[in-house]
């Protein structure tokens, strides 16, 4: 695997290191040892799949608060997405900055999302499927989210959402939950 750290410390784009021959290729998509060597959380508590019927479907911006903050390894196995993450670590020099990357079935890329980041994506094709390996169990009561179009975050989506859940369409703005977010996401 080829790990490329983004400008948001701890977040990595992970490309496959392909061993190719006349059959196609073979590549390692996950290795606990390699994740540990790069300072990433190698724990997988859950593996999830999301299937999206329509181009323009938007999911996000999701996170879980400590003590159930979750890391994610996200890959698009069919179709294409624009994946966006936001640093929600109040002590971080990149607090509230974001990073985006296209993940698709042709590039085989994955995005490693550290704990205490918001995550969301928009599908770029019909019939898009994503796979998540998550480092913590889903824990109701610790989940949170932010408006996908919050001006404070300045996220740039490829198109207006064609499909979005009622829940994702009603997350609060950063300014509405700033105090709670900074308290619950803080360390110590």
27-30 LR contacts (CB < 8 Å, sep 24+): 27/1, 27/108, 28/1, 29/1, 29/75, 29/110, 30/1, 30/73, 30/133
pLDDT given at position 148: 97
Question: Domain boundaries in the chain?
Answer: 44-185
Specify the length of the chain in residues: 188
Give the confidence band of 179 by pLDDT, cuts at 50, 70, 90: very high
12 is catalytic: no
Query: Mean pLDDT across the stretch 52-63?
Result: 97
Give the confidence band of 151 by pLDDT, cuts at 50, 70, 90: very high
pLDDT in tens, 5-46: 999 999 999 999 999 999 999 999 999 999 999 999 999 999
Q: Which of 12, 38, 62, 119 is catalytic?
A: 62
Query: Mean pLDDT across the stretch 55-78?
Result: 97
98 is catalytic: no
Instruction: Report the CATH fold assignment for 44-185.
Output: Jelly Rolls (2.60.120)
Look up the pTM and report it: 0.94
pLDDT in tens, 117-150: 999 999 999 999 999 999 999 999 999 999 999 9
Percent of the chain predicted with pLDDT > 90: 98
Q: Is the separation of the CB atoms in 111 and 83 below 8 Å?
A: yes
∠ at Cα 91 (75, 122), nearest 5°? 25
- In the predicted model, is pLDDT for residue 188 greater than 60? no
Q: Is the separation of the CB atoms in 40 and 33 below 8 Å?
A: no
pLDDT given at position 186: 86
- In the predicted model, is pLDDT for residue 47 greater than 70? yes
Q: What is the DSSP string of 51-78?
A: EE-STTEEEEEEEE-TTS---EEEEEEE
- In the predicted model, is pLDDT for residue 100 greater than 80? yes
Query: Mean pLDDT across the stretch 96-104?
Result: 98
Q: Which of 65, 112, 121, 132 is catalytic?
A: 132
């Amino acid at each position: 695997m080829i790990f490329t750290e983004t400008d948001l410390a701890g977040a990595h784009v992970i490309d496959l290191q392909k061993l190719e021959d006349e059959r196609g290729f073979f590549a390692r998509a996950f290795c606990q040892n390699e994740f540990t060597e790069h300072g990433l959380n190698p724990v997988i508590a859950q593996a999830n799949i999301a299937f999206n019927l329509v181009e323009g479907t938007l999911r996000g911006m999701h996170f879980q608060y400590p003590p159930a903050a979750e890391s994610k390894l996200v890959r698009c196995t069919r179709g294409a997405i624009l994946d966006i993450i936001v640093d929600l670590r109040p002590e971080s020099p990149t607090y509230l900055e974001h990073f985006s990357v296209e993940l698709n079935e042709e590039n085989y890329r994955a995005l490693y999302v550290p704990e205490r980041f918001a995550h969301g994506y928009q599908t770029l094709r019909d019939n898009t499927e994503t796979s998540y390996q998550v480092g913590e169990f889903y824990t109701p009561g610790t989940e949170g989210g932010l408006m996908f179009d919050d001006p404070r975050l300045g996220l740039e989506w490829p198109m207006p959402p064609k499909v979005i859940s009622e829940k994702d369409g009603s997350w609060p703005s950063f300014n509405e939950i700033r105090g709670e977010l900074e308290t619950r996401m803080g360390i110590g």
